[in-house]
Amino acid sequence: MRMAVKLGPVPVFRYRHHAVERWTGGRFASLETTTDSNGKAERVSARRTDTGVVIETAKGRITGPAGARPFTHWNPEVFTGPCSIPRRASC
């Protein structure tokens, strides 16, 4: 996703977001995202393990519950799980 807000011809805000989700057998397997919000870069990666979903950002690593999955608008099941993985990666 790319977005730019301009005041006339001058860009005053830019936003880019790229995410790749992987699902196996109907279950969330992994996620890799990169976001550039007006020059501030962020990365989030998440992967399912035997103990839960390991989520990594520049701020560190946390392990979410096994049912955690990305908060993506195309999948209505995101509203039924114990945890979602938003851009800022909190459970």
What is the number of structural domains in the chain?
A: 1
Q: For residue 55, is it within any domain?
A: yes
Q: For residue 28, is it within any domain?
A: yes
pLDDT digits (tens, 9 = 90+) for 17-32: 999 999 999 889 999 9
Q: Which band of pLDDT confidence, cut at 50, 70 and 90, is reported for residue 35?
A: very high
Q: For residue 10, is it within any domain?
A: yes
Measured in degrees and rounded to the nearest 5, phi and psi for residue 71 equal: -90, 80
Q: For residue 64, is it within any domain?
A: yes
Q: For residue 81, is it within any domain?
A: yes
Please give the structure tokens belonging to residue 28: 């969330």
Q: For residue 91, is it within any domain?
A: no
Answer for the pair 50, 43: CB distance below 8 angstroms, yes or no. no
Answer for the pair 6, 16: CB distance below 8 angstroms, yes or no. no
Please give the structure tokens belonging to residue 6: 């301009």
pLDDT digits (tens, 9 = 90+) for 1-17: 899 999 999 999 999 99
> Bigger pLDDT: 45 or 77?
45
Please state, in angstroms and as integers, the Cα–Cα distance from residue 69 to each residue in 25, 35, 47, 50, 89, following that order: 14, 18, 10, 15, 11
pLDDT digits (tens, 9 = 90+) for 59-88: 999 999 988 888 776 776 666 666 555 555
Query: In angstroms, rounded to a whole number, what is the distance separating the alpha carbons of residues 49 and 17?
Result: 25
Q: For residue 38, is it within any domain?
A: yes
Range(s) of the domain holding residue 58: 2-85
